[in-house]
Amino acid sequence: MERVPILKIGTTLFVSIQIDLQDESVMRLQEDLADELVATGARGVIIDITAVEIVDSFIGRMLATIGSISRLFDAETVLVGMRPAVAITLTELGLSLRGVRTALNAEKGLELLNGSA
């Protein structure tokens, strides 16, 4: 099973999704992320989905779940690098990802976290 690496940058955890997400790897990512949040006391999570070209309701729900998990540890989630086609699909699916903040790219995502901290 492929794993998604979680990188710590300062007080932020950086997750870049570059594989096709399966149920198992998603569960693993959510567990790993929770562990890391506890271990590092990070205040923000950046999820980079630049490489994600296809989304479905499953991935949409996963992103929302990660947002909820992070909030339990008082960390804010920022979703960055969404492609236009992906945004259109999510809108058509009726998923507006309330509770998850979004930014155009990783740089702006970091700014957003640091600005609000």
Residues that bind another protein (CB under 8 A): 78-80, 82-84, 86-88, 90-92, 96-97, 101-105, 108-109, 112
Q: Which is nearer to another protein, 28 or 101 (CB)?
A: 101
Q: Which is nearer to another protein, 62 or 112 (CB)?
A: 112
Smallest gap from Cβ 88 to another protein, in A, equals 6
Please, are residues 17 and 35 in contact by the beta-carbon 8 Å criterion?
no
Chain center to CA of 90: 15
CA distance 104 to 4: 21
Chain center to CA of 63: 6
Smallest gap from Cβ 40 to another protein, in A, equals 24
The three-class DSSP label of residue 101 is strand
Smallest gap from Cβ 35 to another protein, in A, equals 27
CA distance 43 to 11: 6
Smallest gap from Cβ 18 to another protein, in A, equals 18
Q: Which is nearer to another protein, 22 or 68 (CB)?
A: 68
Kindly report the backbone phi and psi dihedral angles of residue 39, in degrees, each rounded to the nearest multiple of 5, phi listed first. Answer: -65, -40
Q: Which is nearer to another protein, 40 or 89 (CB)?
A: 89
